[in-house]
Chains A and B, each alone.
Chain A
C-alpha cells in the first residue's frame, strides 16, 4: 500500500538523530507548557517559532507539532494532583482524577491517562495515514448548520450530567449558557452584559473561570477544614490494577473515536471533545451516579479524547491546509515561515518533509509515553508536600495562570469570583460540570445558529432540510427522552414483579 511505503520513508526521516532530538525537546517542552496553567500551546509555539528560524524546516515542524500535542499530556498532571487544570481540555479530568488522587490512586489515574493519551494520539495519526482524504471530506460536510445540530446533541447529553437533582443541574446548565453570552454578540457585534468593561468584550476567558471553579474552590474548601488536617489516603501502587486496565478498554476506544472525529471538524475544541467523552462514559456506565467520586472511566476517556483531538486536528491541516483552530493556525504559520505550504501540494512537493512529520507524530507520542510514565513517580511526590506549603504554591500557580492569559489583573478577579461561587454552590450540592459544558458550547452554538440563519436568510427549515442536521436533531430528541423511557420500563418491571 502506497501510504505504508510512504510512512516507512517518513520514519527514515523522523528517526534521524537530529529530528529525534527535536521531537524529544518539543515533547518535553509541550509537557511543561501543559503543566503550566495559562500558557497554552499557541503561546508556547509562538514563542518557539523565532528560535526555529535557524533550523531546517523538517526539524522545526517536528518540534513544534510535538509541543502541540505534548501539552495534552502535561495538562493532566496538575488536574489530577492539584485539581488545577493545566489545560482547558484537561478540566474535566479534575472531576474524577482528583478524587482518585485523594483516594491514594494518583499513580493509577496518571498512568491510565498517559496510556489512553498515547493510544488516542496514535489512533488519530493512523487515521491520518490511512484515511486522511475521505475523513476530511466527511468533516467538510459539517458546515454551520450541521455544527449547530451536533452541538445540540452535545447539549442534550448535558442532561445526562444531572446527579441527584435535575433542577440543580439544569440551573447550572442554564447559568453556563447565560455566562457564555457575555461579550460581543455574534449577531450585531455589540457588547452584551459587559458592564462597560473592555476586558469582558471578548467574553469570559475560560482559563480563569475553570481555575476558579476547580482550583480555588478546592483550596477554599480545604482552608475551611484547616491546613493541618488535610490527609490524603496512603498511596497505593503507582500502576493500574488489572481490573482498572480492563475497565479502560472501552473508554479508550470511545475516546479515540470522539476525539479524532471532533478534531476533524473545524470549530470543535479539545475541551468539547474531552467533555463529550466524559458524558459518554457516564451514560455508558452501569453506575453513572458514581461519577465524580473517582471513576477510572471518567479520567481515561477524556484524556484519550483530548489527545486524539490534538492529533486529529492536524489532519485537515495536512489534507487541505485548513487550520481548524487558532492553535493549529500557529502551526500553519510555522510551516509558512519556513517556506512550506501545508496541503496536498506539500505531499507532492516535499514528500519527505510531509511524511517525516507524520512519522514523527508516532515517534512523538511514544516519546511522550516514555517521558510521562516514569515521571509519574516524581510527580506524585508533589502530594507529599505539606498542604500548608502546597496550597500557597497552588494559589501562586493559579494567579500566574489566570494573569498570563491576557496579561490582565482582571482575570485574577474573575478567578476569585468563580472560586467563591463554586465553593458556595458545592456546599449546596450543585454540580459544576453542566455549567462548564454549556459555557464551552454556548458561544459556538449561538454563532453556528446565527451563521446558519445568515445562509438561509432567516429560514429555520434549513435545519430540517439538510439531511445530516435532521438526523442529528432526531438523535438529540432520542437522547432527551430516553431516560424517561428507562424509568417507565423500570416502573413496569416493578409493577409486574409485585403482581407476580
Chain B
C-alpha cells in the first residue's frame, strides 16, 4: 500500500514538473541582461521532474519492511481530518459575509464540541472568548479591525 502511494506521488511530482515546464515556456527565457522570468522555473522544473523519476524508481525497487504502519488513516481518523478541513473552508467562505465573531464562534464551537468532545459550558466559554473576546481585544487594544458582517442587520448589532 505504502509503495503505491509513494509511486503515485512520484508520478504526481513528474506531472507537476511537466505543467510548470509548459507554463514557463510562455515566459521569456533569456533577456538582454540575463535569465528571464522563465529561466529558473524551467530549469528547476526539469530538475524536479528528474528527481521525481529517481524517487519513482527508488520506491519501485524498494523492498517494503514488514510491520510497517498502515499509510492511510482509518475511517474515524479520516473523518476527523475531513472535519477540520471542511471547517477551515467554511471559515474562508463565511468570514466576510458573517463577520469574524459569528464565524469564529461557530468554528470553535463545532470543533470543540464535536471533535474535541468537551462539555457544553467549556465549549461556549472558549468559543466566546476566541470570537467576541479576540474581536474586542484586537479592535480596542491593538486598533486592528477584524471583519464585521456584510449582512446589514448583523452589522447593525455589532457583529
Mark A residues whose CB is within 8 Å of B: 39, 43-44, 47, 167-168, 170-171, 174-175, 177-178, 181, 185, 187-188, 190, 192-193, 219-220, 223-228, 386-389, 391-393, 395-396, 399-400, 403-404, 407, 409-410, 412-413, 415-416, 420, 423-424, 427-428, 446, 449-450, 453-454, 457-458, 460
Indicate the size class of the contact surface on chain B: 35 or more
Partner of A47, one of B27, B54, B108, B144: B144
Counting chain B CB atoms within 10 Å of each CB, which of A219, A223, A457 scores highest?
A223
Please give, as numbers and ranges, the residues of chain B lying within 8 Å of A47 by CB-CB distance. Answer: 142-144
Please give, as numbers and ranges, the residues of chain B lying within 8 Å of A220 by CB-CB distance. Answer: 81, 84
B88 touches A399 (CB 8 A): yes
A416 touches B37 (CB 8 A): no
A389 touches B77 (CB 8 A): no
Partner of A392, one of B6, B89, B108, B138: B108
B41 touches A416 (CB 8 A): no
A446 touches B40 (CB 8 A): yes
B91 within 8 A of A: yes
A39 touches B126 (CB 8 A): no
| Contact status of A39 and B142, CB under 8 A, knowing A223-B77, A416-B88 | yes
In the assembled complex, the CB of B131 is this many whole angstroms from the nearest CB of chain A, namely 8
Please give, as numbers and ranges, the residues of chain A lying within 8 Å of B143 by CB-CB distance. Answer: 47
B44 touches A177 (CB 8 A): yes
Please give, as numbers and ranges, the residues of chain B lying within 8 Å of A187 by CB-CB distance. Answer: 28, 31, 34-37
B40 touches A224 (CB 8 A): no
In the assembled complex, the CB of A174 is this many whole angstroms from the nearest CB of chain B, namely 5
Please give, as numbers and ranges, the residues of chain B lying within 8 Å of A178 by CB-CB distance. Answer: 20, 41, 44-45, 48
A389 touches B23 (CB 8 A): no
Closest Cβ neighbor of B82 among chain A residues: A223
Counting chain B CB atoms within 10 Å of each CB, which of A44, A224, A413 scores highest?
A224
B112 within 8 A of A: yes
| Contact status of A388 and B48, CB under 8 A, knowing A185-B37, A219-B84 | no
In the assembled complex, the CB of B142 is this many whole angstroms from the nearest CB of chain A, namely 6
Mark B residues whose CB is within 8 Å of A: 5-6, 9, 13, 20, 23, 27-28, 31-37, 40-41, 44-45, 47-48, 51-52, 54-55, 58, 71, 73, 76-77, 80-81, 84-85, 87-89, 91-92, 95-96, 104, 107-108, 111-112, 115-118, 122, 126, 130, 134, 138, 142-144, 146-147
Apart from the given pairs A167-B55, A170-B47, A409-B95, 10 other A-B contacts in the complex at a CB distance below 8 Å? A174-B44, A178-B44, A223-B77, A395-B84, A409-B92, A412-B95, A449-B34, A450-B33, A450-B34, A457-B33
B33 touches A420 (CB 8 A): no
| Contact status of A392 and B111, CB under 8 A, knowing A225-B77, A400-B134 | yes
B33 touches A453 (CB 8 A): yes
Cα-based distance from A388 to B55 in the complex (angstroms): 38
Cα-based distance from A428 to B1 in the complex (angstroms): 12
